[in-house]
Amino acid sequence: MDNWKSMLNIIDQNNKWYKYEDPGGWHDPDKLEVGNGGMTTNKYRTHFSLWAISKAPLLIGCDVTNITKDTWDILTNPEVITVNQDKLGEQRRKIKVTNLTYPNNNLNKLEQSILKLFECNGNKEQKGYIRDGGSIWNNNEDLCIEVITGLKRGGQVLTYKCKNNLKVSKDPDSLRQKWIYSTENKTIITENKFKCVSLHNSDNLIFGTHECEGIESQNWEYNEKDNTFKSMGKCLSSQCIFEQTELWSGNLSDGSMAVLLFNKATFQFVVYITWKEFSVNYIKASIRDLWSKKDFGNFQVSKKVILQSHESQLLKVRELNGTENDTYPRPKP
């Protein structure tokens, strides 16, 4: 779908299978949404960069008879396309995620968090309140439990800023924060009664909505005295951990590396990349920004990059062999 969450979810799924892609067998995370209007220019540039570095087919998915200059510039950048079409055919992958833990992130108010099962400790991140109208409010910075894709299809369950417009609508996705807690069946069920909140795996890491089956992983005991939801002896917890920046990289046929940095946060973020993160021992390297089509210059050990909200930089990094002015050959348009 033409939105940020859907795009990131798809490319994360695609990333899991990077070992199994090579010339003759390409993964297909679906057509590009660039230019359809649901995301900003920064987000679309990040979207295109992720598809390019992942060796995905670059299938234009917008109306090419009604295209903006920003969309045209994204879809026709020759240096980014060259990374995608590199003859080595190696899918690049995510190698690093930079996490921030609230409140050490300069945010005035938390906007989202993940859900986990933890030993019950009485802390506020484990307290939940069933509000009038069916939303389940978490005491940790006024967040509500939400399913992040369609209710009928099911999806991952996180906590997000509580919405005030939880009205009945023909669009089932407008009800993503509305739930029914059944004291009889001890289930948290979507408002339209299609799916139940369920633990996906034994690591207590992923919650989602699934067909209601009466199984243990869908059983929730709500305690009104301490405002907790318990399952399998542990408490549902809102963990304030953000994955703010990601680093992707991989080899190119000319001996250089393609490196993608992007910022998932809603505020500016400073990233430092070091050659050791790529498992190389460069003494000096030259760096070119493929979106601005400019050389950053030659650097030793590391490079500082400032990223605006949802901004990305797709770089080519090449080890220098002692020639100070060594730069990249430019691909032909």
Helices (H), the chain: 4-15, 41-53, 69-75, 78-84
- 134's CB contacts (< 8 A; 6+ apart) are 166, 178, 179, 180, 191
- Cα distance between residue 220 and residue 151, in whole Å: 19
Q: Is there a cis peptide before residue 103, judged by omega within 30 degrees of 0?
A: yes
One-character DSSP codes across 17-54? TGGG-BTTB--------TTSSSS-HHHHHHHHHHHHHT
| Bridge pairing between strands 302-307 and 269-274 | antiparallel
Instruction: Look at residue 107 in the predicted model and tell me its pLDDT.
Output: 47
Q: Exposure string (b/e) for 115-131, b if CB count within 10 Å is 16 or more?
A: bbbeebeeeebbbbebe
- 275's CB contacts (< 8 A; 6+ apart) are 281, 282, 285, 301, 302, 317
Tokens representing residue 264 in the block? 């998932």
Instruction: Look at residue 48 in the predicted model and tell me its pLDDT.
Output: 97
- Cα distance between residue 3 and residue 16, in whole Å: 21
Q: Which domains does the chain have, with CATH numbers?
A: 4-100+243-319 (2.60.40.1180), 111-239 (2.80.10.50)
For the entire predicted model, the pTM comes to: 0.59
Instruction: Look at residue 169 in the predicted model and tell me its pLDDT.
Output: 45
Burial bucket for residue 106 (CB in 10 Å: 0-12, 13-18, 19+): exposed
Tokens representing residue 301 in the block? 């050990």
Q: Which amino acid is at 20?
A: Y
Instruction: Look at residue 217 in the predicted model and tell me its pLDDT.
Output: 83
Q: To 5 degrees, how large is the angle CA 75–CA 256–CA 11?
A: 45
For the chain, 333 residues long, give each residue's pLDDT as a single digit of tens.
899 888 988 998 888 888 787 788 888 899 999 999 999 999 999 999 999 999 999 999 999 999 999 999 999 999 999 999 999 888 878 888 776 544 444 444 556 677 778 888 888 778 888 876 666 776 655 678 887 765 566 677 877 777 755 444 444 445 677 888 887 777 788 766 778 888 765 455 567 888 888 888 888 888 888 888 888 888 888 765 555 788 898 889 998 999 999 888 776 777 778 877 777 778 788 889 999 999 988 887 778 888 888 899 999 998 886 554 444 444 444
Length of the chain: 333
